[in-house]
Amino acid sequence: MRHIFELKSIVHNLIILELTLKTLEYDKVRLTGLKMAPVMEEWYEEKAQEVFSDIVKVKKDLSKDGCKIDSSTNDGMFTEYSVLVRGEIHRYTYSNVALRNWCMEEMKRLLGMPYRTPDDMR
């Protein structure tokens, strides 16, 4: 069993992947006016499947340690995530701006551009 500090980075990854998937789905709906919309829709669908596959892997990894994201609340400035770890509730609070920035880094990764990871920040 991993310690909660080890799990925190995996939970962070899951949060960003889930937000990235929502962003891909949100943006895909707004492609209708583009001349290359069919190609872009195909790309969005392919990347959404890739992110979904990553989410499934991360959730499976977390479930081995009895860990899952229970709920989240957003007050417009901050989002608080309640994470269950072997029956204990841990709360993580993120600035919505920070979440957006991490989603942008994940999108850069999907586009094949240089990107940062949380490990780069340490």
Those residues whose C-beta lies under 8 Å from the C-beta of residue 30, and which sit 6 or more positions away, are none
Average pLDDT for residues 35-49, to the nearest whole number? 94
pLDDT tops 90 at residue 12: yes
Other beta carbons less than 10 A from residue 3's beta carbon: 9
Q: Give the domain ranges of the chain.
A: 4-111
Q: What is the pLDDT of residue 122?
A: 62
Can you say whether residue 87 is alpha, beta or left, with left for phi > 0 and alpha for psi between -120 and 50 degrees?
left
pLDDT at 87 over 80: yes
CB-based contact 11:102 (threshold 8 Å): no
Three-state SS for 94? strand
Confidence of residue 31 (pLDDT cuts 50, 70, 90): confident
